[in-house]
Structure 1
């Protein structure tokens, strides 16, 4: 189009007869499509997946739809992993009654229907992508919490944890600096399996 505009600018066509850029765009958008076999040519372009009946590129539409799907999967997974890490590490490190009560809460949440909770949350909180991410994350952290709890319980009696305790490190510091980083291998593998 730019080359065509340069040629038109250098020719001896009067200003009234020159096509404006808006006219050129309008003409390009309304051109008829030429269908040859399986390839659909519009504006002399070849579309890899072809076009629909209205001449829209199918590959572009698939990519656009995939962006939303991937965003929902990744954001909900990240938020649920963060909630699960916090809940599971506190439960596993505390042990005793705290661990018992926290895991019974997880069991109660497991007993509730997943999609029903998401629908109720969306009805209360309203529409919007942030509310949808929050609804998904609010009910999908349960398995992550169990996995992290098991890993923290196996690591909390390690020598490096005892050394940190003897040096006066707080429980929060031990969880954040020693237990969670040593559990990251399992957490990362679990997170990749959680992305739909």
Structure 2
């Protein structure tokens, strides 16, 4: 008799745990675009876009990625019911022994030298808003997509603001219009964020 009660309790606790488990959605990041004057990072995926606030140093580091290769790492990205997103990005310098002037520049941007690996890393917590893309963004894409997992509520619905793309402009929520030329000019080098 106790075996059956124990078996029922294990079964019920497993079902309950699966109900409360975090739901993850796979996103393929395919573009990073920096708007340094407003300190914003525009990140595109296959169907969605994220508009994230960044500080000037992180924006400069991202612009520097046109010349320097970084390995990006994405951690703990979470989306809430109102399409607000939070998470962290770490940029790790790929080159093991960069020139001293580059090291000085990266340290001035907030990079820290890791004792264990002697690599330079910069980590930033990001917050922003998620949008659904309507149309085709007139932007160059990265050669390599980066897969990240985004935690979202189980009751999440796909209602979000919209990024409406036309050949000349990109409109976010039909209120803020940004010339597409800005994004094309601010496109980062393919293969690095």
Instruction: Please confirm whether the aligned pair reaches a TM-score higher than 0.5, indicating the same fold.
Output: no
Instruction: Name the structure where strand makes up a greater proportion of residues.
Output: 2
Larger radius of gyration: 1
More RCO (CA 8 Å, sep 6+): 2
When the two structures are superposed, what TM-score results if normalisation uses the length of structure 2?
0.27
TM-score, normalised on structure 1? 0.27
